[in-house]
Amino acid sequence: LHFARGACSKGAECQFLHRLPDEKIAACCPLTNDIFGRDRHRDHKSDMGGVGSFEKPSQTLYVGGLPGYTKEAEDAVRREFGEFGKLERVYYLKDKGCCFVRYKLRACAEFAKEAMIGQHLTLGS
């Protein structure tokens, strides 16, 4: 979890894995836990926080606080969220300042959610 947030200070001494999830890692993660080993619950939290529900795979993230739609903004979402795994779809609500990012793997969505909390997009390349 600290690695995903860019806050692990232990480096090579750390006992936890420091890598992005892939299909092999995702296959080992039961529906009852998230990629970090935290217990998932029956229902999602109403504020879209928490670790998610074991009732659904939860591969889609809501991303708010975005600028109005431009090709540059959509490209920034694809670039920055794409760092955490293969994207299936980015659905930008052009007049709402938000989008939905869907990953191929639930584990990648969970990792991206933790890594991008409180982050701002970098427009441009």
* Structure confidence by residue, pLDDT tens digits, 6-43: 555 665 566 666 566 777 776 666 677 776 667 676 66
Is residue 121 domain-resident? no
Q: Using CA atoms, how far apart are residues 36 and 1, in angstroms rounded to an integer?
A: 6
94, two tokens:
């052009």
Burial of 80-93, coded b for 16+ CB within 10 Å and e otherwise, reads bbeebbebeebebe
Residue 120 has pLDDT above 60, yes or no: yes
Is residue 125 domain-resident? no
Is residue 96 domain-resident? yes
Residue 106 has pLDDT above 60, yes or no: yes
Is residue 63 domain-resident? yes
- Number of domains comprising the chain: 1
Print the domain residue range for 84: 11-116
pLDDT on residue 1: 46
Is residue 45 domain-resident? yes
Is residue 4 domain-resident? no
CATH number of domain containing 87? 3.30.70.330
